[in-house]
Chain A
Amino acid sequence: MVVAIDGLSLGAIYALIALGYTMVYGIAKMLNFAHGDVIMVGAYMIYTMCTLTWTTGGLPIWAGALIAFVVAVVVCTVLGMTIEKVAYKPLRGASPLAALITAIGVSYLLQGLAQLIWGADQKTLAILDKLGNLHAGSYTIKWSSIITLVVGAIIMVCLTLFVKKTRTGRAMLAVSEDKGAAQMMGINVNKIVSVTFAIGSGLATFAALLYLPTTAISPTLGSMPGIKAFAAAVIGGIGSIPGAMVGGVLLGVIEVVCNSIEGVASYTTAIEFAVLIIILLVRPIGLLGKKRRVKV
């Protein structure tokens, strides 16, 4: 039970990050390797703002945290859009590998900057841990896990509704289907790409907030969850929003379950990636990916 809740909540975090990968991939057809580092920046922003508001005093803790979070979301969204404008937009129309390399460059850049500004040492911020545990019968569940789960679920529902019901959402679907045709139908592709990056980065900040209780903040904070979320996106079928959720939850559950078993725990990463490879071998397009027939 506890394992299940923890697994689902970690899965929700992965799913949030995976959504960023998947949406960007769907729209811009590129792997945004810097996505994990946006999470890192988000985490640092929350940390800085929290310590700032808490030490200056006058505000209750929750208000400080809220302000910190809002600031972090804004910063990350702007950061995501800036990265897109500066590093990726000039490369539209060039080989996708070129964009991949700049993404890697941006990733190094963000890590370097973070190290320069905040230093290489690890920082911890127990923002959600202060909430303590929930005792339900014989089980002890962290409140943070439950909140993560709930917040994750809400965001995913909102995102699904956004994509399905709003004009911008539908425009995003159209662009991911066929960019040229969407443009001819009068959709401003530039704007859609920007919006996508903004949403992806915003989600990354949520992921950062929810990820904080389980990890220390360091410049390389984002890389491993980033890669795992990427794997989750691929498991679910990259480009598919429900796929990213399924993949994220699956990976999260596997990770927590493996970690809870003695002797297997140190192989957790290997098992997760092995699952990825096996799933890809059985279904090369991911669980919920769309199959495209090549016309001969």
Chain B
Amino acid sequence: MIMGEKKKFKISNYLNYAIIIAFVIVMIIINSTVGLGYSDKSTLPRIAFSCILAVSLNLVVGFLGELSLGHAGFMCVGAYLGCYIANTIRAGGSMPELLTVIIAMIVGGFVAAIFGFIIGLPALRLKGDYLAIATLAFGEIVRCIFKNLKIFGGAMGMSTKLYNGNTLYILAFVVLLVVLFCCQNLINSKHGRAVIAIRDNEIAAKAMGINVTFYKLLIFIVAAFFAGMAGVLYGSTIGTIRQETFSYNYSIEILVMVVLGGMGSINGSMIAAAVITYLNIVLQQQLSGALAPVKNIVYALILIVIVIFSNAPAMKSFREKFNPKKLFRRKPKTPEVAEAIERKDEAKWDRIPTKIDMDEVLSADTRSNYADAPVPPGADVIPMERSKDEMYRPIESGKEEK
């Protein structure tokens, strides 16, 4: 999503809030009339905190343009410490349940934010894949430490007090709304602009006096804070927090949501997060026991097909070719040029558009557009057909591509 006109943006702002609120209301109504099943009640919060994770990771990957594979690490920190606090409060007193969870979320968020700051520091020095492996390493370190700490239950995991199952999903979606509100506002402000400027061209951003250090750390801290909150929500959904959950595979799964949803698109992240989480849960339910491996296979195939279809240069041209809008519309040719071609009038050949943008050159489409044009006599025939490997554009750092 590219920052375009302001007005357009505002509508979509309100629209996604409205959709989430409407969805929650529908769920509440269903719950009070028909009654939601037990599995639905655990599915809904999972969707909500997946959305939170994806949206917060999108801040780092999509807007700041840094690849992070340690998001589950932040979630892990938040989940353990937040739930530990919640357990302590529960054990000690008579504080209302809701308040306990909120305190736990804030604590979890803050502790995760501190870790976000720590991992943000290497982000100032490292780029691209190097940062990716550093964040991955961070996640694994966190996991390894929690595995060995006795007060958090060690390898056995830490049991948590569950939040009331009947209203948990409402709480989860309210938190999602808050996170969404914060992220969207941050991105659509001068600060968001500075962050996107850093992503687009760090050197120019520095030259414009943007404090790159501050903004990189800020984004890591904010993203970690929300991930920590999601961790507490996770802890309240599930009975036992186990460190295996937060392995780098989970970080990658969040990254998959962000990439499939479209980097830099908050709504896209949410949709992808919801769909992938739901798909995962359904596949798990449908294909259990001996069929369990099939779940992985189906999931993997869906992933590969979607990515190839939506990203491959060849597929792009394919989609353009069979774009329904395009099929029913003839390509406008300037009448003079068309006429000139008809008469094989060489003098007017200079009118034929020569400036073709890169995408069009790469798409197979271009061929069909120009194939029927007669070649002026005597002119060297430049083959329009490009072999597939010619499309191979080297990608240096990856930074420029985003």
- Identify the A interface with B (CB < 8 A): 25, 29, 31, 33, 87, 89-98, 100-102, 104-109, 111-116, 120, 178-180, 183, 188-190, 219, 223, 227, 230-231, 234, 238, 266-270, 273-274, 276-277, 280-281, 284-286, 294, 296
Q: Does B211 contact A (CB under 8 A)?
A: no
User: In the complex, A277→B118 CA distance in Å?
Assistant: 12
* 5 contacting pairs across A/B (C-beta < 8 A): A102-B303, A107-B300, A234-B129, A266-B144, A266-B147
Q: How far is the CB of B229 from chain A (nearest CB, A)?
A: 25
Residue in B141, B297, B389 whose beta carbon sits within 8 Å of that of A273 in the complex:
B141
User: In the complex, A270→B73 CA distance in Å?
Assistant: 13
Q: Is the CB of B141 within 8 A of A274?
A: yes
Q: Does B288 contact A (CB under 8 A)?
A: no
Residue in A105, A270, A277 whose beta carbon sits within 8 Å of that of B307 in the complex:
A105
Within 8 A of A (CB), among B337-376: 362
Residue in A98, A116, A188, A281 whose beta carbon sits within 8 Å of that of B294 in the complex:
A116
**Which residues on A sit within 8 Å (CB–CB) of B391?**
92-93
Q: Is the CB of A266 within 8 A of B148?
A: yes
Q: How far is the CB of B212 from chain A (nearest CB, A)?
A: 14
Q: Which 10 A-B pairs give the minimum distances between C-beta atoms?
A: A112-B296, A273-B137, A115-B293, A109-B300, A108-B300, A105-B303, A112-B297, A270-B144, A98-B311, A90-B312
Given contacts A106-B300, A112-B296, A273-B137, contact A178 B394 (CB under 8 A): yes
Q: Is the CB of B130 within 8 A of A94?
A: no
Mark the stretch among B20-28, B74-82, B219-227, B255-263 that contacts chain A: B255-263
- Identify the B interface with A (CB < 8 A): 61, 67, 122, 125-127, 129-130, 132-134, 136-138, 140-141, 144-145, 147-148, 203, 248-249, 252, 255-256, 259-260, 263, 292-297, 299-301, 303-304, 307-308, 310-315, 362, 388-396, 398, 401-402
Residue in B126, B133, B260, B304 whose beta carbon sits within 8 Å of that of A87 in the complex:
B304
Q: How far is the CB of A174 from chain B (nearest CB, A)?
A: 12
**Which residues on B sit within 8 Å (CB–CB) of A286?**
130
Q: Is the CB of A277 within 8 A of B394?
A: no
Q: How far is the CB of B57 from chain A (nearest CB, A)?
A: 12
Residue in B126, B256, B299 whose beta carbon sits within 8 Å of that of A101 in the complex:
B256
Residue in B129, B203, B249 whose beta carbon sits within 8 Å of that of A296 in the complex:
B203
Q: Is the CB of A111 within 8 A of B130?
A: no
Given A96-B395, A105-B304, A112-B297, 19 more pairs with CB closer than 8 A? A29-B398, A91-B311, A92-B392, A93-B391, A95-B398, A97-B67, A97-B259, A104-B256, A105-B300, A111-B296, A115-B293, A116-B297, A179-B393, A179-B394, A267-B145, A269-B141, A273-B144, A276-B137, A280-B122
**Which residues on A sit within 8 Å (CB–CB) of B203?**
294, 296
User: Which of B292, B315, B392 has the most C-beta atoms of chain A within 10 angstroms of its own C-beta?
Assistant: B392
**Which residues on A sit within 8 Å (CB–CB) of B134?**
276-277, 280
Q: Is the CB of B313 within 8 A of A94?
A: yes
Q: Is the CB of B293 within 8 A of A93?
A: no
User: In the complex, A238→B295 CA distance in Å?
Assistant: 33
Residue in B252, B294, B392 whose beta carbon sits within 8 Å of that of A112 in the complex:
B294
Q: How far is the CB of A29 from chain B (nearest CB, A)?
A: 5
User: Whose C-beta in chain B lies nearest to the C-beta of A90?
Assistant: B312
User: In the complex, A102→B302 CA distance in Å?
Assistant: 10
Q: Is the CB of B301 within 8 A of A109?
A: yes
Q: Is the CB of B394 within 8 A of A29?
A: yes
Q: Is the CB of B256 within 8 A of A93?
A: no
Residue in B127, B130, B145, B312 whose beta carbon sits within 8 Å of that of A91 in the complex:
B312
User: Whose C-beta in chain B lies nearest to the C-beta of A282?
Assistant: B125
Q: Is the CB of B126 within 8 A of A102?
A: no
User: In the complex, A276→B313 CA distance in Å?
Assistant: 35
Q: How far is the CB of A146 from chain B (nearest CB, A)?
A: 30
Given contacts A29-B395, A90-B315, A93-B392, contact A284 B296 (CB under 8 A): no
User: Whose C-beta in chain A lies nearest to the C-beta of B392?
Assistant: A92
User: Which of A101, A183, A284 has the most C-beta atoms of chain B within 10 angstroms of its own C-beta?
Assistant: A101
Given contacts A90-B314, A93-B362, A281-B125, contact A183 B137 (CB under 8 A): no
User: Whose C-beta in chain A lies nearest to the C-beta of B249?
Assistant: A223
Q: Is the CB of B402 within 8 A of A95?
A: yes
User: Whose C-beta in chain A lies nearest to the C-beta of B308?
Assistant: A90
**Which residues on A sit within 8 Å (CB–CB) of B392?**
92-93, 179-180, 183, 189
**Which residues on B sit within 8 Å (CB–CB) of A280?**
122, 125-126, 130, 133-134
Q: Is the CB of B292 within 8 A of A115?
A: yes
Q: How far is the CB of A56 from chain B (nearest CB, A)?
A: 28
Q: Is the CB of B362 within 8 A of A231?
A: no
User: In the complex, A189→B200 CA distance in Å?
Assistant: 30
User: Whose C-beta in chain A lies nearest to the C-beta of B140?
Assistant: A273
**Which residues on B sit within 8 Å (CB–CB) of A223?**
249
Given contacts A101-B303, A234-B133, A280-B122, contact A190 B138 (CB under 8 A): no
Residue in B296, B299, B312, B398 whose beta carbon sits within 8 Å of that of A97 in the complex:
B398
**Which residues on B sit within 8 Å (CB–CB) of A102?**
303-304, 307-308
